[in-house]
Amino acid sequence: MSPQYKNYLSRRLFFQHTGFGLGGAALASVFDRESQAASADPLQKRGLHHQPKAEHIIYIHMVGAPSHLDLFDYKPELQKRSGQLCPDEFFAGKQLAFIREQPNLMGTPKDDKYAFKHCGQSGHQISNLMPHLQGVADELCFIKSLHTEQFNHAPAQLFSLTGFERFGRPSIGSWVSYGIGSHNRNLPDFVVLNSGQILGAGNSAWGSGFLPTVHQGIEFRSKGDPVLFLSNPDGMSDRERKSVVDSVNKLNSLQLDSIGDPEIATRISQYEMAYRMQSSVPELMDTSRESAATHERYGSEPGAASFANNCLLARRMVEKGVRFVQLFDQGWDHHNGVFNALPRKTQQVDQPIAALIKDLKERGLLDKTLVVWGAEFGRTPMAQGSSGTGEKLSSAGRDHHKEAYTVWMAGGGVKGGHSYGSSDELGYSAADKPVHIHDFNATIMHLLGIDHERLTFRYQGRQFRLTDVHGHVVQDVIT
């Protein structure tokens, strides 16, 4: 070896190329065991385990956690007892994020704007704050007994989306990408659209963790360049860019043949995907081609950055074969002034979500697209920072709540017009058919044709999966 290169020889490469003695054999054995799931072909999809109900998923995460009690889980007894001191068992020894003194119960304001309405043939009770969603009630399948283990935002976001409360695990979108991939080789398997600030968990909420990084979510922007650094630099033609990509990948291929590191295969794939995306992504993100009626329905505007635009883009993406589209919308953490903030936030999301469901159905896509609406946890039935009665109601908020909250799904093999489980009469605990977040994730995976117990990846000496060693599919919500 030439002297100028001798310092670049890694320990792994040294043992691979010398291969002498028991140490080399032992090391090679360790490497083989640790990377056996990925080394042969880290980009290979694991395949379906059973017939899927859904081919795509649009996962809408309300960052900060909406007050489900004021939107979807009407509690007459909570209304009746609003202003009373909360029961001791709701406070003593409980983990609450900010409440430190025993609070009062707080119902929804007795005002038509906040009133609940029985909707559709299903009779789902949905707040008047979401009139457009009321119109698609029979498409919605509610789970009203979901519970989690974390009560602070970042750990709870990680727990709900990666199955673990600390950084380092693959997100649900990455697991789906690893398992079944995409229908369109010119677009990523997993796309992320943000409105507002990035959530507390950061990009780990769509990260690939220990999976090959080709499976991480790719953040698209609805305004400006859709993907950072995707465009050619000034003065560089498409032909020159392709020449650079080909040259880099030739070098990467030589390195891959020599070392066998699966991340090099990922880099090759990402360079090729980025080049193909230069033509496919701008066309995909150009919503000016949509009709004026479509934009009016969604409340979207071509070229704008908004949640409404992201809902329209999500429909366009599943049409093009993107497997997993994740929408994050910031601004739902209402520790005070909850009844002032909720009307503003629901007005931003109600119309586009309902439009998305209707649009998918009219285009024949809803049956094969699972739409999920959820958050990292719920909100307390007790008031934070206020007695919850009289003039102080306008300033009252709700604290973080992990014991029971509401999510819903639509399309993609779930029972429309169905409600599963319930919280107690005051909305504090899961009273009937409790569903853990691992159960919820197992159910989502099942609908996509994936057995959550069989989709695993070997890392640090053991097999890992999204649901760890937990999770049961909630069969009663599936058609």
pLDDT at 229: 56
**What is residue 281's predicted lDDT score, i.e. its pLDDT?**
81
CB 147 within 8 A of CB 434: yes
Type of residue numbered 329: D
Pairing label, strands 397-401, 378-384: antiparallel
Task: Determine the pLDDT at residue 346.
Answer: 98
Dmax over CA atoms of the chain, in Å, equals: 84
Distance of CA 52 to the CA centre of its chain: 19
- Region of 442 on the Ramachandran plot (φ > 0 left; ψ -120 to 50 alpha; else beta): alpha
Question: What was the pLDDT predicted at 378?
Answer: 98
Contact of 406 with 377, CB cutoff 8 Å: no
| pLDDT tens sequence for the chain (479 residues) | 444 434 444 544 444 444 444 343 443 333 343 444 444 455 456 778 999 999 999 999 999 999 999 999 999 999 999 999 999 999 988 889 999 999 999 999 999 999 999 999 999 999 999 999 999 999 999 999 999 999 999 999 999 999 999 999 999 999 999 999 887 788 999 999 999 999 999 999 999 999 998 899 999 976 667 765 566 666 666 676 667 666 777 777 777 777 777 777 767 666 566 656 676 788 888 999 899 999 999 999 998 899 999 999 999 999 999 999 999 999 999 999 999 999 999 999 999 999 999 999 999 999 999 999 999 999 999 999 865 444 466 789 999 999 999 999 999 999 999 999 999 999 999 999 999 999 999 999 999 999 999 999 999 999 999 999 999 999 999 99
Q: Which amino acid is at 92?
A: A
Please tell me the distance from the alpha carbon of residue 397 to that of residue 383, in angstroms, as a whole number: 6
Q: How many angstroms separate the CA atoms of 307 and 321, rounded?
A: 21
| Cβ count near 292 (within 10 Å) | 7
Tens of pLDDT, residue by residue over 334-387, are 999 999 999 999 999 999 999 999 999 999 999 999 999 999 999 999 999 865
Q: Is 242 helix (H, G, I), strand (E, B) or coil?
A: helix
Domain 35-223+301-477 sits in CATH 3.40.630.30: no
Give residue 2's pLDDT.
Answer: 43
Token pair listed for 343? 């009307």
Q: Is 98 helix (H, G, I), strand (E, B) or coil?
A: coil
Contact 193, 222 (CB under 8 A): yes
Q: What is the pTM of this model?
A: 0.85
Q: Are 333 and 77 in contact (CB under 8 A)?
A: no
Beta-strand ranges (E) seen in 348-444 are 369-374, 378-384, 397-401, 405-410, 418-420, 422-423, 430-432, 435-436
User: Could you tell me how far CA 90 lies from the centroid of its own chain?
Assistant: 30
